[in-house]
């Protein structure tokens, strides 16, 4: 599982750690890349995926209250970051990759959008998934009103 947040024309690609109970959490390092720089975005996606999902010890509530990404965006709170952001993830299970788009949830935050999931044939090369993710991000930026 890898997360890709899009905010104001930049992709935020945190390493996604696996907490011992099967939950995922965004951790360092984080790459922040303008979506207009296709080569840098491609490299950042490769690097992020190559890090995998390193194990993360269980976190306290206090640790969970201090989200990682706002500081990279130069904002103080998660709400300020999320207000202008959208989320996609790349998942892989048994050699099948999916790109999953998220939508705003009624309860706040995001939830998977079942109408915005792209599955790739089994054993598709990761380069195909990365190229599609780049296209999705660049299309999303082009659609946003200035």
Nearest by Cα to 100 from 119, 83, 81: 119
Cβ pair 28, 56 in contact under 8 A: no
CATH 3.40.640.10 fits 2-143, yes or no: no
List pLDDT tens digits, range 14-30.
Answer: 999 998 777 889 999 99
Indicate the SS3 state at residue 31. Answer: strand
For the segment 62-121, what is each residue's pLDDT rounded down to a tens digit?
Answer: 767 778 999 999 999 999 999 999 999 999 999 899 999 999 998 878 999 999 999 999
CB within 8 Å of 94: residues ≥ 6 apart? 122
User: Domain spans of the chain?
Assistant: 2-143
pTM of the model: 0.93
C-alpha distance from residue 52 to each of 2, 14, 55, 95, 100 (Å): 8, 11, 10, 14, 17
């Amino acid at each position: 599982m890898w997360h890709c947040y899009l905010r104001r024309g930049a992709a935020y690609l945190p390493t996604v750690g696996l907490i011992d109970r099967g939950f995922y959490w965004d951790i360092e390092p984080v790459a922040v890349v303008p979506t207009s720089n296709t080569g840098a975005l491609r490299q950042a996606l490769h690097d992020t995926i190559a890090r995998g999902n390193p194990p993360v010890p269980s976190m306290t509530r206090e640790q969970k209250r201090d989200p990682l990404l706002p500081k990279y965006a130069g904002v103080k709170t998660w709400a300020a970051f999320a207000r202008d952001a959208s989320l996609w993830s790349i998942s892989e299970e048994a050699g099948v990759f999916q790109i999953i788009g998220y939508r705003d949830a009624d309860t706040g935050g995001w939830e998977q959008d079942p109408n915005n999931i792209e599955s790739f044939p089994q054993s598709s090369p990761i380069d195909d998934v990365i190229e599609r993710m780049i296209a999705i991000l660049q299309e999303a930026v082009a659609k946003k009103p200035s």
